[in-house]
């Protein structure tokens, strides 16, 4: 029923017909997940960001107004970038929108891990990642290794580094950001359907 | 949904469930906040309320001047250890009269028993010289407190002070055994009165000081005038005696002359007394060693049940004191809180508006 509608029409309809938002979600969920995965290099974080972005979009859909063609997708990715920026600042993904809707925080299964990596084409980035990693400072390397590679919680990362948890989060965030910048410089993230 | 990622499928179901909840006939209520969210809200509200109460207590404590039971005992009053060195209520601060001052004239009195000369004109006394010297009797009483064991040294020092200023000790007395005390009457030249008094004050702690000055210039002038008159009368009577025609007249003149001579002596005596009192000031000095502070006997230890009762009363007083402070403080804090809340609400609404504009 919603297949004939474009994104702007779907999102506008979703204000009165919540089920229309489901159609909008199906069209853009993987792309948004890929968007986050290539910027965070962390399937867990990417999945959480995707969930929180769609939850925030669902809660705020009443305020959407079509101003130009393709505005709905741009609006969705604006919410996503806002969530991504908040993650970089705080080192954790927000969950307020999901809490408001009663959506539980879910874990990413092992199968999903591989699928997300394939989706984001993370394998092709391994060499670039290694080079980018070596370009990090020693504290950033340690922070990224402990958190991203070994999956340690931030309090353990802080203890290992001999710093506060906030400082540890900041080091991980900055390290990943530098990795992302380095990766973007070497392998443009121009994937079909993705809005830069 | 065409995706192999189970996470995305589950998320799709969660969003659909949220959509169904919105569409329910109950009017599209938003789903209930999860318990964790409600608990967080309660925590925030509790923290804010606690901060408000504490802040109110502090503000109330300051506003009530440190609690309901506090007193401002020494505000505006002199501490008990300070004593006025002015002393008695009849104290008169001595002041120097300027040479040009003319003291109030005092009624002169003629000497008693001197009959007026019969018919003969009484030569008048020559007029008093202009700008008569001021005559003031200066007296002081000074009571000093000394440290125990210093009486002898201070007493000797007082004698040296009198000698230094050209005075002398008119009389003195000492006494006491464990705590010595004594006094002396010092006669100090009037010109050095203030300096000598200041030097004597330095011997100990001034317990009391009384300084008086009596202006006797008019008395002096009057006595001198009367003396001059009496001398003139004496001279006249002697001349008359030499020329008395009869023995009877000579006896009468001689009788009057005797009275005048007595009057002259009396007047001279008064003048000498005044001169002595005005040329030399009088300082009545009292010295006394102070008793060492007696240790206040320690109160006997209160029995346990009395101590607990006192502690309970203090606790009750403290409870009501804190409650009073909090209530008073709320009167200050609540209006401010309302204003801050309003400002915060406006800022929050503006932020949401801006964010929605950005997202749109």
* Predicted complex ipTM: 0.72
Looking at chain B, list the stretches that DSSP marks H as alpha helix, in order from N- to C-terminal side.
6-23, 35-63, 151-164, 193-201, 217-242, 247-279, 304-359
Q: Do A99 and B15 touch (CB under 8 A)?
A: no
Per-position DSSP letters for B202-262, written without gaps between them = TTSEEEEEEEEEEE-HHHHHHHHHHHHHHHHHHHHHHHHHHT-SSHHHHHHHHHHHHHHHH
List, in order, residues 6 or more apart from B69 with CB less than 8 Å away: B317, B321
Q: A24 CA to chain B: closest CA distance, Å?
A: 10
Q: Are B169 and B162 in contact (CB under 8 A)?
A: yes
Could you tell me if A50 lies within 8 Å of chain B, comparing CB atoms?
Answer: yes
pLDDT of residue B26: 57
Interface of A with B in 77-106 (CB under 8 A): 78-79, 82, 99-104, 106
Could you tell me if A115 lies within 8 Å of chain B, comparing CB atoms?
Answer: yes
Summarize pLDDT for A105-124 with one digit per residue, the tens: 888 888 888 888 888 887 77
Residue B8: its chain A contacts at CB < 8 A?
Answer: 29-30, 33, 50
Q: B25 CA to chain A: closest CA distance, Å?
A: 14
Q: Do A104 and B12 touch (CB under 8 A)?
A: no
Nearest to A160 by CA among A139, A178, A135, A174: A139
Residue B126 tokens, joined: 């020559």
Summarize pLDDT for A40-65 with one digit per residue, the tens: 888 899 999 999 999 999 999 888 88
Residue A99: its chain B contacts at CB < 8 A?
Answer: 33-34, 36-37
Residue B40: its chain A contacts at CB < 8 A?
Answer: none
Could you tell me if A24 lies within 8 Å of chain B, comparing CB atoms?
Answer: no
Q: Which of A4-18, A122-136, B326-340 has the lowest mean pLDDT?
A: A122-136
Q: Which residue of B has its CA nearest to A103?
A: B14
Residue A152 tokens, joined: 């340690």
Q: Binning pLDDT at 50, 70 and 90, where does residue A187 land?
A: very low
pLDDT of residue B25: 62
Q: Which residue of A has its CA nearest to B14?
A: A103
In whole angstroms, give the CA distance from residue B247 to residue A70: 160
**In chain A, what percentage of residues exceed pLDDT 90?**
23
Q: Do A33 and B8 touch (CB under 8 A)?
A: yes
In whole angstroms, give the CA distance from residue A153 to residue A3: 43
Identify the DSSP state of A5. Answer: S
Could you tell me if A74 lies within 8 Å of chain B, comparing CB atoms?
Answer: no
Mean pLDDT of A137-161: 87
Q: Are A170 and A137 in contact (CB under 8 A)?
A: no
Nearest to A88 by CA among A174, A185, A195: A174
Model's pTM, two decimal places? 0.36
Q: Do B359 and A111 touch (CB under 8 A)?
A: no
Pick from A21, A47, A79: CB nearest B7: A47
In whole angstroms, give the CA distance from residue B331 to residue A172: 48
Q: Do A58 and B8 touch (CB under 8 A)?
A: no
pLDDT of residue B4: 85
Q: Report the DSSP beta bridge partners of residue B211.
A: B140
Summarize pLDDT for A65-76 with one digit per residue, the tens: 877 778 889 999
Pick from B20, B30, B356: CB nearest A100: B30
For residue A83, is pLDDT > 70? Answer: yes
Q: Are B213 and B138 in contact (CB under 8 A)?
A: yes
Could you tell me if A124 lies within 8 Å of chain B, comparing CB atoms?
Answer: no
Residue B14: its chain A contacts at CB < 8 A?
Answer: 51, 101, 103-104
B125, B330, B334 from B340: Cα distances, Å:
96, 15, 10
Q: B22 CA to chain A: closest CA distance, Å?
A: 8
Q: Which residue of B has its CA nearest to A52?
A: B11
Q: Are A91 and A169 in contact (CB under 8 A)?
A: yes
Pick from B8, B19, B37: CB nearest A29: B8
Pick from B3, B8, B15: CB nearest A22: B15
Q: Do A109 and B7 touch (CB under 8 A)?
A: yes
pLDDT of residue B104: 40
Question: Which parts of chain B have pLDDT scores under 50?
Answer: 27-34, 69-123, 125, 128
Q: Do A112 and B33 touch (CB under 8 A)?
A: no
Residue A110: its chain B contacts at CB < 8 A?
Answer: none
Residue A82: its chain B contacts at CB < 8 A?
Answer: 359
Q: Which of A36, A101, A116 to mutate to test the interface with B (most CBs of B within 10 A)?
A: A101
- Reported as type and span, the H/E element at residue B176 is none
């Amino acid at each position: 029923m919603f297949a004939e509608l474009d994104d702007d029409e779907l999102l506008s309809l979703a204000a009165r017909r919540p089920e229309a938002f489901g159609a909008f979600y199906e069209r853009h969920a993987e792309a948004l997940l890929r968007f986050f995965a290539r910027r965070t290099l962390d399937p867990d974080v990417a999945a959480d960001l995707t969930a929180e972005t769609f939850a925030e979009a669902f809660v705020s859909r009443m305020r959407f107004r079509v101003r130009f063609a393709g505005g709905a997708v741009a609006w969705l990715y604006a919410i996503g970038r806002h969530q991504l920026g908040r993650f970089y600042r705080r080192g954790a993904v927000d969950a307020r929108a999901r809490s408001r809707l009663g959506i539980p925080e879910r874990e990413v299964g092992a199968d999903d891990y591989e699928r997300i990596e394939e989706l984001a084409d993370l394998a092709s980035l391994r060499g670039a990642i290694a080079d980018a990693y070596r370009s990090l400072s020693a504290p950033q390397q340690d922070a990224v290794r402990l958190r991203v590679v070994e999956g340690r919680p931030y309090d353990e990362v802080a203890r290992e580094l001999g710093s506060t948890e906030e400082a540890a989060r900041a080091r991980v965030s900055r390290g990943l950001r530098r990795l992302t910048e380095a990766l973007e410089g070497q392998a443009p993230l121009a994937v079909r359907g993705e809005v830069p | 949904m065409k995706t192999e990622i189970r996470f995305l499928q589950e998320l799709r179901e969660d969003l659909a469930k949220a959509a169904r909840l919105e569409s329910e006939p109950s009017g599209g209520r938003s789903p209930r906040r999860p318990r964790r969210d409600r608990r967080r809200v309660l925590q925030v509200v509790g923290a804010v309320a606690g901060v408000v109460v504490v802040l109110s207590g502090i503000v109330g404590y300051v506003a009530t001047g440190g609690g309901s039971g506090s007193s401002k005992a020494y505000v505006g009053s002199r501490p008990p250890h300070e004593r006025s060195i002015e002393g008695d209520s009849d104290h008169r601060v001595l002041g120097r009269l300027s040479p040009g001052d003319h003291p109030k004239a005092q009624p002169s009195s003629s000497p008693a028993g001197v009959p007026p000369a019969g018919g003969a004109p009484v030569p008048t006394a020559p007029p008093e010289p202009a700008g008569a010297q001021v005559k003031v009797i200066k007296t002081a009483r000074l009571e000093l407190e000394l440290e125990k064991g210093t009486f002898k040294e201070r007493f000797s020092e007082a004698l040296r002070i009198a000698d230094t200023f050209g005075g002398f000790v008119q009389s003195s007395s000492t006494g006491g055994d464990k705590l010595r005390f004594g006094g002396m009457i010092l006669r100090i030249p009037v010109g050095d009165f203030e300096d000598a008094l200041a030097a004597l004050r330095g011997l100990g702690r001034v317990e009391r000081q009384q300084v008086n000055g009596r202006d006797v210039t008019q008395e002096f002038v009057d006595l001198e005038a009367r003396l001059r008159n009496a001398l003139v009368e004496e001279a006249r009577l002697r001349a008359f005696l030499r020329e008395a025609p009869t023995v009877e007249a000579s006896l009468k003149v001689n009788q009057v002359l005797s009275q005048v001579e007595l009057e002259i002596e009396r007047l001279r005596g008064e003048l000498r007394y005044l001169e002595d009192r005005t040329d030399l000031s009088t300082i009545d000095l009292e010295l006394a060693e102070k008793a060492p502070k007696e240790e206040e006997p320690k109160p006997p230890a209160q029995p346990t049940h009395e101590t607990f009762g006192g502690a309970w009363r203090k606790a009750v007083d403290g409870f009501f004191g804190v409650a009073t402070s909090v209530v008073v403080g709320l009167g200050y804090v609540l209006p401010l809180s309302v204003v801050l809340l309003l400002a915060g609400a406006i800022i929050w609404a503006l932020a949401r508006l801006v964010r929605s504009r950005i997202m749109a």
